[in-house]
Amino acid sequence: MAITIGLLVGSARAGSYNQLLADRIAAALTAGGATVWTPDGSAIDLPIFHADREREGFPEAAETLKRGLAACQGLVLISPEYNGSVSPLIKNLIDWASRSTLGEPPLTLAAFKGKPVLLASASIGPFAGVRAIGHLREIAQAIQLIALPEEIRVGAATTAFDTDGNLTNPATAGQIDAVAARLIDIAGRLSA
């Protein structure tokens, strides 16, 4: 079975270190034989989630996002750390994709339930997004994802990437390759 891994990036900033990290993770997943589905979070036109908006009708962009994630066998969630937590962008994408639609029973979590997920963050600070990843882990548990114990954290991101966007630390690159292979393996086993 072909494995598709969905990659959600919680940063839309031009030159985002988290997008550079996402590109490196995507390359490792592709090299490992997986197909990578990466929606452009900045191009998905979604209002901030709340129940009143949901009652007004489920946005087409949210339905497209949810269908894309539901077709994946595994996920990668990447977020910068904003004020000690995840970015509003990734939280909003997750919130919309977690909603029941089109006659699904409440809390179906079709886009997420039972899928393995890799958590990652890049930060200019020395803590490398550790608090954001902690919150991502809590969110993953709430939406019934299976978070890998391994995580990818890149600190001091201003020097962690060269001018071409490549990681400067071979150990970090090796860690990404190893964890990407593990994610593909687990996704394959769980979806078999």
Q: What is the pLDDT of residues 47-98, one digit of tens each?
A: 888 888 777 878 889 889 999 999 999 999 999 999 999 999 999 999 999 9
**CATH no. for 4-191:** 3.40.50.360
Helix extents (H) in the chain: 17-31, 51-56, 60-70, 88-97, 130-142, 157-160, 170-191
* Residue 163 tokens, joined: 């001018």
Spell out the domain ranges in the chain: 4-191
Asked if residue 140 has pLDDT above 80, the reply is yes
What gap in Å lies between CA 135 and CA 130, rounded to an integer? Answer: 9
Strand order in the sheet with 116-122: 35-37, 4-9, 74-78, 116-122, 146-154
What is the tens place of the pLDDT at every residue in 27-42?
999 999 999 999 987 7
Check residue 105 and report its DSSP letter: P
For residue 171, what are the contacts with CB-CB under 8 A and spacing of at least 6?
none
